[in-house]
Amino acid sequence: MCSGSIGGLRGKAENASRNGILAVSSSPMPVRQRKPKHIETSSDAVANRFGDTLLPQTPDGSVTPVRASSPVGTRRKISPWLRWVVQPVQSFKLLLIPLVLYINWELFTPQLQAAIAPLAPSLIHDGRLANPFAGIFLLSHRIPESDPSDPRYAKGWFDLAFLAYYVVFFSCFRQLVTINTFGPIAKYFGLKKEAKIDRFGEQGYALVYFALSGFWGFRVMSQLPTFWYRTEYFWIDYPHWDMKPELKRYYLMQMAYWLQQLIVLVLGLEKPRKDFYELVAHHIVTLWLVGWSYLVNLTLIGNAVYMSMDLPDTTFALSKLLNYIEWNRAKLFSFAFFVCVWTYFRHYLNLVILWSVWTQFDLIPDHARRWVWSEGVYMVGWMKYQIFAPLLLLQCLNLFWYFLIWRVAVRAIMTVDLNDDRSDDEGDD
143 and 151 Cβ atoms separated by less than 8 Å? yes
Number of Cα atoms under 13 Å in the Cβ half of residue 390: 18
141 and 64 Cβ atoms separated by less than 8 Å? no
Q: HEC string of 99-153?
A: HHHHHHHHHHHHHCHHHHCCCCHHHEECCEECCCCHHHHCCCCECCCCCCCCCCE
Dihedral sign of CA atoms 80, 83, 85, 89 in order? negative
> Is residue 229 domain-resident?
yes
What percent of the chain clears pLDDT 90, i.e. is strictly above it? 56
What is the rounded CA–CA span in Å between residue 295 and residue 364? 17
> Is residue 280 domain-resident?
yes
> Is residue 6 domain-resident?
no
> Is residue 304 domain-resident?
yes
> Is residue 142 domain-resident?
no
For 265-293, what is each residue's pLDDT tens digit?
888 777 777 777 888 888 888 888 999 99
> Is residue 422 domain-resident?
no
The mean pLDDT value for 139-156 works out to 92
| Total residue count of the chain as it appears in this document | 429
- Asked if residue 144 has pLDDT above 50, the reply is yes
CA distances from 221 to 59, 87, 216, 303, 322 (A): 73, 35, 9, 7, 30
Adjacent-strand bridge partners of 153: 142, 243
Which is more confidently placed, 109 or 188? 188
Please give the residue range of the domain that contains residue 366.
162-415
Please tell me the total count of domains within the chain.
1
The mean pLDDT value for 50-75 works out to 41
> Is residue 423 domain-resident?
no
Q: Give the number of other Cβ atoms within 10 Å of residue 390's Cβ.
A: 18
312 and 341 Cβ atoms separated by less than 8 Å? yes
Which is more confidently placed, 416 or 96? 96
What is the rounded CA–CA span in Å between residue 266 and residue 211? 25
> Is residue 429 domain-resident?
no
What is the rounded CA–CA span in Å between residue 68 and residue 86? 30
Question: Residue 199's closest CA among 409, 423, 417?
Answer: 423
- Asked if residue 79 has pLDDT above 80, the reply is no
